[in-house]
Homo-oligomer: A and B are copies of this chain.
């Protein structure tokens, strides 16, 4: 059992809405604070990602195209090939 969580018999009544005091309030606060710490880590990494893009930009690379490369590399190769084949077909049909 995760040490942040009390053992079973101290769990809030079936629904915490009845009396959110004492243990249930502490438990809620602890969940919220854990989430906030993780959200902060996530925000810091998002900042780091932005910094790499701006470093690349100042090295002369195009950020918008780099983002497309990053998203293309997430795709399965065969799926990507099939998708692009169909896209070319549709592009030819509607002339774009």
Contacts and interface: CB of A to CB of B under 8 A. Distances in A.
Interface of A: 2, 5, 11-17, 20-21, 24-25, 27-29, 31-32, 34-36, 38-39, 41-42, 45-46, 48-49, 52-53, 55-56, 59-62, 64-66, 68-70, 72-73, 83, 85-87, 89-94, 96
B41 A45 contact: yes
A60 B90 contact: no
A66 B5 contact: no
Contacts of A56: 28, 31
Contact of A5 (B20, B21, B59, B91): B59
A94 B25 contact: yes
29 contacts: A5-B55, A11-B59, A12-B60, A13-B60, A16-B60, A16-B61, A16-B62, A16-B89, A20-B93, A27-B59, A27-B61, A28-B61, A28-B66, A28-B90, A28-B93, A29-B93, A31-B52, A32-B73, A34-B52, A35-B49, A35-B53, A36-B70, A38-B45, A42-B45, A65-B87, A65-B90, A69-B87, A69-B91, A73-B96
